[in-house]
Structure 1
Amino acid sequence: MDNNSQKIRVLLVDDHPLVLDGIRSRLEDDGHIDVIAEASNGEEALHLAGEHKPDIVLMDINMPVMNGIEAAEKFSAELPDIRLLMLTMHDSREYITRVLKAGAKGYILKDVSSNEMISAIKAVYEGKTYYSSGVTDILVNEGTNKQVPLTDREKTILQLLAEGNSNKHVARELDISVRTVETHRRNIKRKLSVKTSAGLVKYAIENGIVEL
């Protein structure tokens, strides 16, 4: 981007005023970025975005009233032309995948340098996706988990669980004990290196075991 290019118009969203001040200062030092507004929660961000039409929304996840994941879903539905870049301290696989599914175009951690934050904004503005190095490592490691084979019985149980059935319902369906279902569930989580039910559902969807 040269000096004659139009500035990238950014809306900052974070519920900590000191964080907002720090980010604004870091971005405006670049000369190619214009922070046009600031919001302290997702609901306010949606209102301001509709009013100011920023190019990029740089948004935290944990916020009152409406968090970043909920806001990302609403942005995708109501303001799809505005690109979302998440800036957060959360480096868990679950947060990353939920945000990306909600429509965010990038995910960077709050410990990134000023230069990397600016590079992320410019990349997303140009229509690319951007993940900071720590996020990329997590996504790559997640990909390796997909190579772990599940038995046919484990796949059947995973399918039933991912469809929202309880352990008791799965036990009745397969004519096995609830304890056996719980054991299979623990083994599946261990094999896939996931800790939550959401992680199981995500794996099942991405690997064609269930459909959305």
Structure 2
Amino acid sequence: MESIRILLVDDHRAVLEGFVARIENETGLTVAGTAVNGAEALENAKLYKPDVVLMDISMPVLNGIETTKMFRDHHPDIKVLILTMHDNREYIQQVMSSGASGYILKDVSLEEMINAIKAVHEGATYFCQNSSKALFESSANRKRSEYKKDVLSQRETTVLILVSKGLSSRKIGQELDISVRTVETHRQNIKHKLDLSTTAEMVEYSIKNNLLN
């Protein structure tokens, strides 16, 4: 199996060197290159052709949120995993709506970082524990359209639960013995029926309605 090629992006050289040292000796992972801002990351993506970009939010020239949007528009096959010190809900929501596949904090363990890289590479969405808490802890008090209940089929509910647990469409298809295209159809139907737009909102719905217990 080929190694997952990673592009590390952070405006602090010492931080970059530290993460290179953490990752480079891990089996199945390769640090393809580094960049110190979003503009350089986009250029280096053309040069190094990474599978996953680990990127900070606060950077000069082009910040992580704007860079993520450009990766989504111009390099849709490259997964963006945000690696930052910011754990507030506003940042997380902005990042996920910009097209990132995951959000982890810089103080996570090496094991969790590797799990996150592998998860987003496979097409899943990944939130570390602290970012999940920041994202959902005040959801009960936020005013948004009322969630619709009892509108999903049993199969749609199962797919929703598996999505919320971080499984990719491919993994869900294997779990349920259905095609990836069928899984994607279920995901779109779920979003339509529940008036949801993102995977993060699907996870939030599952948590609020105790589907993950």
- What TM-score do you get using the length of structure 1 for normalisation? 0.66
Counterpart of 1:67 in structure 2: which amino acid? N
What is residue 53 of structure 1 aligned with on the other side? 49
Number of paired residues?
Answer: 147
Closer, same or farther: CA 145–118 of 1 in aligned 2, 3 Å:
same
Gapped regions of structure 2 (runs ≥ 5):
147-200, 202-213
1:148: how far off? Answer: 8.4
What is residue 22 of structure 1 aligned with on the other side? 18
1:43: how far off? Answer: 0.3
What is residue 158 of structure 1 aligned with on the other side? none
Gapped regions of structure 1 (runs ≥ 5):
151-205, 207-212
Q: Is the 8 A contact 2:88 2:135 kept in 1?
A: no
Closer, same or farther: CA 144–81 of 1 in aligned 2, 3 Å:
same
Q: 2:46 aligns to what SS in structure 1?
A: helix
1:52: how far off? Answer: 1.9
Distance 2:145 2:54 in 1: 38
Q: 1:116 aligns to what SS in structure 2?
A: helix
Closer, same or farther: CA 147–69 of 1 in aligned 2, 3 Å:
closer
1:145: how far off? Answer: 2.2
What is residue 145 of structure 1 aligned with on the other side? 141
Closer, same or farther: CA 144–17 of 1 in aligned 2, 3 Å:
same
Where in structure 2 are the equivalents of 1:168-207 lying within 5 Å? Answer: none
1:53: how far off? Answer: 1.4
> Which structure 1 residue ranges, 4+ long, deviate > 6 Å from structure 2?
147-150
Q: Does 1:133 align with 2:132?
A: no
Closer, same or farther: CA 118–149 of 1 in aligned 2, 3 Å:
closer
Rg comparison, structure with higher value: 1
1:29: how far off? Answer: 2.3
- What TM-score do you get using the length of structure 2 for normalisation? 0.66
Q: 2:82 aligns to what SS in structure 1?
A: strand
Residue 39 of structure 1 is aligned with which of 28, 35, 38? Answer: 35
What is residue 107 of structure 1 aligned with on the other side? 103
Counterpart of 2:130 in structure 1: which amino acid? G
Residue 13 of structure 1 is aligned with which of 9, 16, 27? Answer: 9
Q: 1:115 aligns to what SS in structure 2?
A: helix
Residue 90 of structure 2 is aligned with which of 94, 98, 115? Answer: 94
